Structure 1
Amino acid sequence: MTRRPSLPGASELFRLTGSTPDLPSEEAAGGRRRGTGREKHSTKITVYVSDEELLALEHARLELRGEHGLAVDRGRVVREAIAIVLDDLEGHGEDSLLVRRLRER
């Protein structure tokens, strides 16, 4: 018995991805934004994080997989977190978590 990981086949790697028809994310999700899932993304940003932040992100990814059965990558976790924070900002403005935390610094 080998300990090699099972890898996705060609059909998984090259599958077609669907997209929502010209609706902003918040309209498509019934008033709430959703982070994009497994699809090709056309825009890239670079974000520098501390070692501790990267470790925490990886820990969260492993917790999602181990305790909740959600196999997601770090990018998916970050996109969902962005969607949550933007929804909170839009809905709560001055009282949003983002505004309060940014004012603390």
Structure 2
Amino acid sequence: MTRRPSLPGADELFRPTGHADGVLPLRFEQGRVPHAPPQGQARRGTPRQKHTSKITVYVSDEELLALEHVRLALRAGHGLAVDRGRIVREAIAVMLADFEDRGEESVLVRRLRHDD
């Protein structure tokens, strides 16, 4: 029995993509951090949708278990049925916004300095 992967059709591969309401795309300039969202608009993680880019991140068993616990707590305690990817995208958005606002004093810089 041969297991063949399920591949997307041409309609899926060549579909138009867009951004969900209220989600601001990152704009990059060569050698610079993405621009902060316009005044009054907070950076948000993108909701569940077909994304155009992918990264692979390796996590420890403990980190994966903690992420799953958060997912279940959001569902049980707050009525939010979200997947792990959505939680990660929101966490990234929060860290990027903090970095853009606070720079050297951001949580990201402080935590990365302690990893040395």
For the aligned pair, the TM-score class normalised by the smaller chain equals 0.7 to 0.9
RMSD: 2.6
- State how many pairs are aligned: 89
Question: What are structure 1's unaligned runs of at least 5 residues?
Answer: 1-16
What percentage of aligned pairs have identical amino acids? 64
2: CA distance, partners of 1:32 / 1:61: 23
- Report the Cα distance in structure 1 between the residues aligned to 2:39 and 2:67, rounded to whole angstroms: 25
- Counterparts of residues 77-92 of structure 1 (less than 5 Å): 77-92=87-102
Q: Match for 2:54: what amino acid?
A: K
Q: Judge conservation of contact 1:20–1:28 (CA < 8 Å) in 2.
A: no
So what's the TM-score if we normalise by structure 1?
A: 0.74
Match of 2:48, SS state, is coil
| C-alpha distance 101-21 of structure 1, shift in aligned 2 (>3 A) | closer
Q: C-alpha displacement at 1:39, in angstroms?
A: 1.2
SS in structure 2 at match of 1:59: helix
Relative to total residues, which structure has the larger helix share, 1 or 2? 1
User: Equivalences for 1:14-53 in 2 at 5 Å?
Assistant: 19-20=20-21, 23-24=24-25, 27=37, 30-53=40-63
> What SS does the aligned partner of 1:86 have?
helix
Deviations, residues 33-63 of structure 1 (Å, cap 9, x unaligned): 1000021101010000000000000000000
